[in-house]
Amino acid sequence: MEASLPEQRNVSTMQTLPGFRDFLPEQCAVRNHIFACWREVARRYGFVEWEGPVLEPTDLYKKKSGAEIVEQLFHFKDKGDREVALRPELTPTLARVVAAHEREFKKPLKWFSIGQFFRYEKQQRGRLREHFQLNCDIIGEADLAADIELVALCIDVLRAFGLSEKDVVVRISDREFWTDFFREQNMPADRWDELLQVIDKFGREPRERTVEKLGKLADPVFATLKGGGGNSDKLNRLIAGLRERGLADFIEIDVGIVRGLAYYTGIVFEVFDRAGKFRAIAGGGRYDNLIGLLSDGAVSLPALGFAMGDVVLGELINETPHAREAMEKAIASNRKIDIYIVIAKEERRADALAQIQQLRERGYRVDYPLTPTKVARQFQAAEELGARVALLYGDEWPQVKIKNMATAEQELAPQDRLLAHLQAQVSLSS
Amino acid sequence: MEASLPEQRNVSTMQTLPGFRDFLPEQCAVRNHIFACWREVARRYGFVEWEGPVLEPTDLYKKKSGAEIVEQLFHFKDKGDREVALRPELTPTLARVVAAHEREFKKPLKWFSIGQFFRYEKQQRGRLREHFQLNCDIIGEADLAADIELVALCIDVLRAFGLSEKDVVVRISDREFWTDFFREQNMPADRWDELLQVIDKFGREPRERTVEKLGKLADPVFATLKGGGGNSDKLNRLIAGLRERGLADFIEIDVGIVRGLAYYTGIVFEVFDRAGKFRAIAGGGRYDNLIGLLSDGAVSLPALGFAMGDVVLGELINETPHAREAMEKAIASNRKIDIYIVIAKEERRADALAQIQQLRERGYRVDYPLTPTKVARQFQAAEELGARVALLYGDEWPQVKIKNMATAEQELAPQDRLLAHLQAQVSLSS
């Protein structure tokens, strides 16, 4: 556990850097399953995929992301003396891209992206130095209907993994609730950001420290957090919109949610496991001013979005039996090949190879032994690789023996009619 | 064009860093199409996906990758004072992972990976500071059958993009041909690497410089390169193996191919466009000693692999009309949504939203106007998004009008039987 050790300066080339992961085939299958569900649901919602660079000018984040992101930036000077950073989040890149290109697209944009993000901090459970994120954003729509659509998408992404309202909860708040509150309390606007950070850390910092930071606001803030608050018309309409879709059971109003990032302006939300074992699974909200700020006012567009990481989500799926089972089943089925070619006589290898080429061209996943191998071991390989059919090239030539691996039934087909024969039997893997 | 300008030290946050790309939806669709073909064909060959970290200890590359890679390393010191590099290539990571985990897997391993790689050099056509690569490797098989399988896979990946033997050529050589040659010429083994680098640069460097570097070897090397050479038994068997699969027309023996990377030991190959307009599209070969070298002899396994980048491939597809057409068709079809919901009366919005939720849950890609919109504009959106069907929620309620967008035929279906009705009409997008 690196968390309790000093940084290791002697880096071994025989292991990953701390906080970075190798994805062996099993882990890569999990990652790809997560990516596939993310992409699938985003596309059902009519979202279109895009992607930005993993390396960006450090200033892109220093300007607007807020203290927590900047402290943990994985940044350095490149050989051209530029201050650059491995991106900690996607939103500033999105704002840059939209400011430059928005005229090419009809509004609202509904864009999603799947990519890797970085931070430099001590490793902890659910927090490495890299992770993958789904980002979904709607640009150019100020109406609350967009907030509802975005939260619904976030919930449906989780449901695609078999997670229900018993497993996860979306805690929703509205930054305007707090800015209205600060205004009532006559707090100057230039202190609001800092106060929101204190509220964001509520419960994660010692109470005395929170009291100290809030000063005379401590009592009314505590009272508000305790009371739940947030009975605003906007939040009620948001819940009503989700109820129309049958998703209201996933929602709880919680004005304690304000999000660490500095640029949010309206509705904000975070997703947690109901048992409270994990960090936030996803989070997002409205950032109506960010595009204008980053483009120095050249382009002003309302916007909102959320991000969901792969690490905490993966842990939650792993510890939720029905979700884990569904994932394992999907992965096992996706891993299978279609056809294994058993070369029983080496004299038939050239014929088999010509056939393998034909089958692969038709889209079948086909494997075979690269070198002479005992027939029993070949059938074992066919079994392990999940082949639905084994084709045996041996004494029966110019006929080929077709073995259905599930039923063990065998039949003979002439080599030149094999393809038609198989087409009827073996549908393509997706 | 940055190539002719000094490095810009004042980095704007309103553009990408030099050599990095934004993938707007159109470019992202091209990238995803390339990824999908790569993955599809690798899986047909029974290859299994894995992935490594994008950041690695710099020493991983300094040890074995060779001078060209090291010169162009995108490296820096991290906050923990480690020498780290954005990976320039995957093979050293693969060797590390295999050395650590090979006991968990049956040999041979057939692994592929799709990921991003980095170099720090001046930008040129087809050469940015980042690109994506397909890497395919076979570990644990010394037989030439593995080399044939790997080259066949590389060719079939290109064929999946509609590229034929008229568009691309695989130039194949064997480093053993040259090491045998050096041995005959009594060159000491510690000079072989350096001589191979000179041969690799042949034709790209001034001839005088090559002559100078080769010394007394210049004449016999030039004679060999001119004569084509390489009429070895191994290369002939390799071609015969590809002929069995009908792929021999893609192949040319060219002993001038030795590959820039230091760790190759046997068969090496590079893929070029026939017209000779572009840089290499792909390259690879055998590196039987690398795993042993990186693991200090703990694990010794023969290995071979190739990498194919997205940038040159993308340019070639773009300039090859039949390949470009095929790609555009695939992208256009993949972009489409299934169903557009036209809300003709705002009183019906809640009913429509409940229906949208149902449809998306069944896997349909569904879009609708977030806010009140003129019906004509909604149908226009349905058209632009490629919807196969539009559902109209209006005066007909509790019936819904179903419009087939291709034929403009319309029919009415009762809301409660809509799903069954659609299931017969609209098959899911893949």
A245 interaction partners in chain B (CB closer than 8 Å): 353-354, 356-357
The kind and range of the H/E element at A381 are: helix A375-384
Distance CA B157, CA B163 (A): 9
CA distance B218 to chain A (A): 37
pLDDT reported for residue B198: 87
| Interchain contact B207–A (C-beta under 8 A) | no
- Considering only CB atoms, B141 lies closest to which of A363, A370, A429, namely A370
Q: For chain B, what are the domain ranges?
A: 14-329, 337-425
Q: Is the pLDDT of residue B261 over 80?
A: no
CA distance B19 to chain A (A): 10
pLDDT in tens, A277-320: 999 999 999 999 999 988 888 899 999 999 999 999 999 999 99
How far from each other are the two terminal CA atoms of chain B, in whole angstroms?
40
| Interchain contact B52–A (C-beta under 8 A) | yes
- Considering only CB atoms, A53 lies closest to which of B17, B60, B337, namely B17
B53 interaction partners in chain A (CB closer than 8 Å): 16-17, 20-22, 130
| Interchain contact A380–B (C-beta under 8 A) | no
Name the nearest CA neighbour of A267 among A280, A286, A252: A286
CA distance B391 to chain A (A): 16
Distance CA B132, CA B116 (A): 4
CATH superfamily for domain A2-329: Bira Bifunctional Protein; Domain 2 (3.30.930.10)
CATH 3.30.930.10 matches B14-329 = yes
CB pair distance less than 8 Å for B49 and A56: no
| pLDDT-derived band at A79, boundaries 50, 70, 90 | confident
| Interchain contact B11–A (C-beta under 8 A) | yes
| pLDDT-derived band at A228, boundaries 50, 70, 90 | low
Token code pair at residue A404 = 């259905």
In B250-269, the residues whose Cβ lies within 8 Å of chain A are none
Counting every residue, how long is chain A?
Answer: 430
B385 interaction partners in chain A (CB closer than 8 Å): 46
Distance CA A248, CA A239 (A): 6
Q: Is the pLDDT of residue B233 over 70?
A: yes
CB pair distance less than 8 Å for B354 and A83: no
Rounded to 5 degrees, φ, ψ at A283 are: -165, 155
pLDDT reported for residue A202: 82
Name the nearest CA neighbour of B50 among B144, B131, B139: B139
| pLDDT-derived band at B221, boundaries 50, 70, 90 | confident
pLDDT reported for residue B213: 87
Token code pair at residue B390 = 């539009």
| Interchain contact A7–B (C-beta under 8 A) | yes
| Interchain contact B186–A (C-beta under 8 A) | no
- Residues contacting residue B201 through CB under 8 Å, at least 6 positions apart: B210
Q: Which is more confident, B189 or B86?
A: B86
Degrees to nearest 5, angle at CA A401 with A396 and A403:
155
CB pair distance less than 8 Å for A245 and B353: yes
| Interchain contact B63–A (C-beta under 8 A) | yes
A54 interaction partners in chain B (CB closer than 8 Å): 54, 116, 130
B100 interaction partners in chain A (CB closer than 8 Å): 14-15
Least confident of B108-122, B188-202, B364-378: B188-202
In terms of Cβ atoms closer than 10 Å to its own Cβ (0-12, 13-18, 19+), residue A321 is exposed
CB pair distance less than 8 Å for A17 and B46: no
Least confident of A275-284, A371-380, B57-66, B401-410: B57-66
| Interchain contact B350–A (C-beta under 8 A) | yes
The number of CA neighbours under 13 Å toward the Cβ of B197 is 15
Token code pair at residue B287 = 């590196």
Domain spanning B337-425: which CATH class is it, in words?
Answer: alpha beta
- Considering only CB atoms, B78 lies closest to which of A46, A51, A120, namely A120
CB pair distance less than 8 Å for B24 and A146: no
Q: Is A3 helix (H, G, I), strand (E, B) or coil?
A: helix
| Interchain contact B128–A (C-beta under 8 A) | no
A241 interaction partners in chain B (CB closer than 8 Å): 353
CA distance B93 to chain A (A): 9
CA distance A28 to chain B (A): 5
- Residues contacting residue A36 through CB under 8 Å, at least 6 positions apart: none
| Interchain contact A243–B (C-beta under 8 A) | no
A118 interaction partners in chain B (CB closer than 8 Å): 55
Least confident of A259-273, A322-336, B197-211: B197-211
In A75-104, the residues whose Cβ lies within 8 Å of chain B are 76-84, 86, 92-93, 96-97, 99-101, 104
CA distance B344 to chain A (A): 17
- Considering only CB atoms, A357 lies closest to which of B111, B130, B245, namely B245
Strand residue runs (E) in B204-300: 251-253, 267-273, 282-286
Mean pLDDT across chain B, nearest whole number? 91
pLDDT reported for residue B6: 41
CB pair distance less than 8 Å for A22 and B371: no
Nearest chain A Cα to B355, which residue? A245
CATH superfamily for domain A336-425: Anticodon-binding domain (3.40.50.800)
A303-309 β-sheet, strand order: A48-49, A109-118, A130-139, A303-309, A282-286, A267-273, A168-174, A251-253
CA B256 to chain centre: 25
Amino acid at the residue B60: L
B25 interaction partners in chain A (CB closer than 8 Å): 48-50, 111
Average pLDDT over residues A29-50: 98
| Interchain contact A1–B (C-beta under 8 A) | no
* pTM exceeds cut of 0.90: yes
* B157 in Cβ contact with B308 (< 8 Å): yes
Nearest chain A Cα to B95, which residue? A14
ipTM, two decimals, is 0.93
| Residue A176 CB neighbours (<10 A) | 17
How far from each other are the two terminal CA atoms of chain A, in whole angstroms?
40
Counting every residue, how long is chain B?
Answer: 430
pLDDT in tens, A409-419: 999 999 989 98
pLDDT reported for residue A296: 84
pLDDT reported for residue B224: 82
| pLDDT-derived band at B39, boundaries 50, 70, 90 | very high
CA distance B82 to chain A (A): 6
| Interchain contact B179–A (C-beta under 8 A) | no
Mean pLDDT across chain A, nearest whole number? 91
CB pair distance less than 8 Å for B146 and A370: yes
pLDDT in tens, A229-245: 667 889 999 999 999 99
Average pLDDT over residues B358-381: 97
In B20-39, the residues whose Cβ lies within 8 Å of chain A are 20-25, 28-29, 31-32
CB pairs under 8 A between A and B: 251
CB pair distance less than 8 Å for B78 and A111: no
pLDDT reported for residue B341: 98
| Residue A232 CB neighbours (<10 A) | 16
CB pair distance less than 8 Å for A365 and B43: yes
CA distance B100 to chain A (A): 8
Strand residue runs (E) in B145-266: 168-174, 251-253
Q: Is the pLDDT of residue B250 over 70?
A: yes
pLDDT reported for residue B430: 54
